[in-house]
Structure 1
């Protein structure tokens, strides 16, 4: 179940503490959005954020928190101890009170740096590392390295109850794992009304195999073959050029190229959500609590999504949207068709429910407030 709503509080009366977030930085997708929003929201609770990027790239260019200090410390390899030493020196020089790492790669050096600098470590579990990609050996190696790196962490942050349970199953005591749900800002849009004719389906993601875009494309083709008037707006970059070619080949094979708009990366997700009537996330596996689902809810978009990991902790079936089994083209197509042509579910009710649920449980302010309480407990005030 979601955490109880956080009552807005006045800024912390204590002196501001400095916290270093150690991140990858090569993309700007869900986890990076969390990092960016925390940097914007935590100062009102007494914590100033700095960033150290071990794979610097897009994050440094497009983040909203451009005023926040960002140190580029590229790792020369997975076991770059020199990077850990440089981080430790930075922590001491800049007087950071705590290190907060967000990925298996960043926590590998972040944990060593925190130990050498004599400060506590917090690790943010955004998704199940052992089920992150289709490469099983890489998943296994990353999960083992992650577990070794966080064995002495002061606290683990799980973005969903399912991830908290996973970390406890791996041997971490319940007291060391805190559930802090992701959160996003409210999106100021007028109440949504059911489309009268053509529907625009929407998806936003860093497109990679586990996001299930092929399932959505096949569902789109099936719907259009049955005369359902739907098009697709796909927002975001592809993880690799090879995967993009693979997906575009499927689009051509199914003959739905004229029904899909590929926008590429955007910094203004709210502007894209305004152009959608129904949000779809057909993930196959590997989800924590998807930020883009929360953003769709904030925009009042009903959601059709796969019943995987943390997704049902945000979307209540037939209340805020519909949940389907992963990798099922038929179920996904039927769920979309039920909303588009059926009359059993009221579109406006789903929209209002989604927006209200976001405001009650998944705001960016409540995310920062909950995390600030964890920091305060660790630092002893």
Structure 2
């Protein structure tokens, strides 16, 4: 089967949707199919199976900055790639996001499946109030990554949505080599913007023992402000952007993976990565995370924005090796339920059903 996966976000910028697209492509190839990923790239493509469609334009949406490519040159490259590749089926991620997915939704002749990732608000839905329902009907099948994402899409577009949770590459997590450390270590990775809650974690650090260190990966619009907040605290290590390999290595080497997001998470795939690495997870009790992590079973969840509660949960894990070991074991089991192989096999059945009709 010739499968085209289309991503609206720059594939050279770390992000949840981008990771899902690239991971799914890799798994589908391993199952014997021809797969190409089409999307913007702001540097060398991250994979030989990627067709770059041009540079992205950072755009504010859903409390974040989305690296999309809504320009005409990108649209023309998308049309050319669709013509040249002659895909049997197209899989659009965020079908209404301005750029290559929306272009494909308007113009592609191949059968199409769309996966809706966003929860909360969508700039695309707001801008396309008139034609969105017509565009929704262009899809042969629609999927949402969570109940929240399905509810948001249904309220704007109507129609039915199959719920298929995101997948995690469990084999990559299992094989990661733990990063060495000397002290009790917390790991955070995520864009430095308000909704990710890094400021809450930095405040929680002030309540934790002096031998506790924090690894902070990535960057963003709040980096300078957050560094100022933590000025003088040498326990906080600012790593900047790191490779996927280093991310998993540090995740596996840390004593705790912490995800203190405040809102805007449709599905907590990063929690699953922590679990698959065997690292105890402490996270905010928000809908997108609660769908993945079960409080007290395979993670500890605390009220979003409560730095004292966050610190208490972190210290509880650090001071209780038995609980840390239990969370680790339960997390590994939980992550297996969301493996990328299972997800790819499920999508393949959907592709086959669409083509059969």
TM-score class normalised by the smaller sequence: 0.7 to 0.9
Aligned to 2:295: 317
Please give the residue correspondences for 1:254-333 in structure 2 after superposition, counting only pairs within 5 Å: 255-256=232-233, 258-267=234-243, 268=245, 269-333=247-311
Aligned to 2:109: 118
Cα shift at 1:95 = 0.5
Aligned to 2:201: 216
Name the SS of the counterpart of 1:223 in structure 2.
coil
Of 213, 227, 250 in structure 1, the residue corresponding to residue 229 of structure 2 is 250
d(CA) in 2 for partners of 1:111 and 1:364?
25
Of 147, 152, 156 in structure 1, the residue corresponding to residue 142 of structure 2 is 156
Aligned to 2:39: 53
Name the SS of the counterpart of 1:142 in structure 2.
helix
Length-normalised TM-score, structure 2: 0.83
Cα shift at 1:143 = 3.2
Aligned residues: 337
d(CA) in 2 for partners of 1:129 and 1:53?
24
Aligned to 2:126: 144
Aligned to 2:87: 96
Cα shift at 1:18 = 2.9
d(CA) in 1 for partners of 2:17 and 2:108?
26
Length-normalised TM-score, structure 1: 0.78
Cα shift at 1:379 = 1.9
Of 16, 19, 32 in structure 1, the residue corresponding to residue 4 of structure 2 is 19
Of 201, 218, 227 in structure 1, the residue corresponding to residue 186 of structure 2 is 201
Aligned to 2:212: 230
Q: For residues 178 and 376 of structure 1, do their structure 2 counterparts lie closer, same or farther at Cα, with a shift above 3 Å needed? A: farther
d(CA) in 2 for partners of 1:250 and 1:104?
38
d(CA) in 2 for partners of 1:288 and 1:124?
12
Name the SS of the counterpart of 1:379 in structure 2.
helix
Of 151, 157, 170 in structure 2, the residue corresponding to residue 165 of structure 1 is 151
Deviation by residue 1:287-309 (Cα, 9 ceiling, x = unmatched): 12233211110111111101113
Query: 1:200 touches 1:277 (CA, 8 Å); kept in 2?
Result: yes
Q: For residues 75 and 315 of structure 1, do their structure 2 counterparts lie closer, same or farther at Cα, with a shift above 3 Å needed? A: closer
Q: For residues 322 and 298 of structure 1, do their structure 2 counterparts lie closer, same or farther at Cα, with a shift above 3 Å needed? A: same
Q: For residues 275 and 71 of structure 1, do their structure 2 counterparts lie closer, same or farther at Cα, with a shift above 3 Å needed? A: same
Cα shift at 1:201 = 0.9
Q: For residues 85 and 67 of structure 1, do their structure 2 counterparts lie closer, same or farther at Cα, with a shift above 3 Å needed? A: closer
Deviation by residue 1:150-169 (Cα, 9 ceiling, x = unmatched): 52323333222332233334
d(CA) in 2 for partners of 1:338 and 1:75?
43
Query: 2:295 touches 2:301 (CA, 8 Å); kept in 1?
Result: yes
Deviation by residue 1:120-143 (Cα, 9 ceiling, x = unmatched): 33332223261xxxxxxxx5x333
Deviation by residue 1:248-305 (Cα, 9 ceiling, x = unmatched): 11111xx42x111112222212211232001100001111223321111011111110
Cα shift at 1:207 = 2.3
Aligned to 1:68: 49
Unaligned stretches of 5+ in structure 1? 1-15, 131-138
Aligned to 1:31: 17
Cα shift at 1:342 = 5.0
Deviation by residue 1:22-46 (Cα, 9 ceiling, x = unmatched): 3321512222111111111112445
d(CA) in 2 for partners of 1:31 and 1:266?
18
Q: For residues 281 and 101 of structure 1, do their structure 2 counterparts lie closer, same or farther at Cα, with a shift above 3 Å needed? A: same
Cα shift at 1:340 = 2.2
Higher relative contact order (CA 8 A, sep 6+): 1
Aligned to 1:354: 331
Name the SS of the counterpart of 1:310 in structure 2.
helix
Aligned to 2:63: none
Unaligned stretches of 5+ in structure 2? 58-67
